[in-house]
Structures are given as C-alpha cells and as structure tokens.
Amino acid sequence: MIRPGDTLDSVFRRLQLSVEDLAVVRGLPGVRQSLDLLRPGDVITLTHLNGELKSLTRRVSETETLNVQRDPGGRFAAQIVENDLDVRVAPVHGTITSSLFRTINDVGASDSVALQLAEVFRYDIDFAQELQPGDSFTLVLEKVWRDGEFLRDGDILAAEFVNAGKAY
C-alpha cells in the first residue's frame, strides 16, 4: 500500500527490488502515466523473486487494471485489462426523521444520492426550508459493483417524494 511521500522508486528500494526493472517497466508504452501518479492508500501488487520483478498490478481506474508481466525470456509486457462493472437496480425507500442526508444514509445510500434527489425536485421542493419529519421518498437507484464488491451508488432512475402530504 502506498504511504504518504512514496514514489515507485522509494517502494522498489524499500522492498530491495531492481530499480533497473522499474525503469524498463516505466518505459513500456502507456505504462508511465498509469504508474506515476500515486496517492496514499493506492495498492500496487508486486511479485518478485530475489529482487527481480516478476509482475506488477495496479488498478488505474474504476474499470481498468494495469498488468505488467515478465516473460520467461526476461522481457516485460504490459496490458490494460477492462474490468466490467455490474450495475444493479435497487428500490430505496425512506421516511424523513431529521434530515434528508441522515435518512438517505440510514437506508444505505450515500450523500451523493441525497444531492441527486434534491436536484431532481429542486423546482418543486425547498429542501432547506420545506422538509419536515414524516416526508418520504421512494427511489429506483443504480448500485455499481465490480467483481462482487460494492463500489458506489449510481444514478437515480425514478423518484417520488411526498412533501407535506403532496406527492411529486
């Protein structure tokens, strides 16, 4: 896992891996931009034997993974693998108790869903002034998964909001 202040060079040196291997890998077409921007918490999987890099894997986006492999002849090859997303549709229902954000979170959705919902009804409901306990909403919401792991909430596909007894 990448720590604050880490560079690939410092990671390779800390793990006593060949920095020459790193230079060769970074020189492969399309690899440098996938490796150079590191953030604390990023995960790069390295396999090695006696200081010689055998493979490197890094997720570069929600849908792409960089895979670098050393072949038996000692040459490196890189490819970007597309990771399919599984978008599932889920009903979500909630009744306001204190705030829209709290209720959205209580029903298992993220703050981005609350912002989307407020945007959908921005011309009908003043969520800062008119929201009251007992108001309710029902949504059809996309949930985005990858390899069996929940990633994030997606778009609201349909929504109903009941405010002060009036359905929108």
pLDDT of residue 167 exceeding 90: yes
Provide mean pLDDT across the span 67-82. 93
> Using an 8 Å Cβ cutoff, are 150 and 99 in contact?
no
Q: How far is CA 110 from the centre of its chain?
A: 13
Rounded to 5, what percent of the chain is helix, strand, coil? 20, 40, 40
Q: Is the pTM of this model over 0.75?
A: no
d(CA 79, CA 64): 10
Above 90 in pLDDT, residue 141?
yes
- Please compute the mean of the pLDDT values over residues 70-86 and round it to a whole number: 93
CA distance 83 to 164: 45
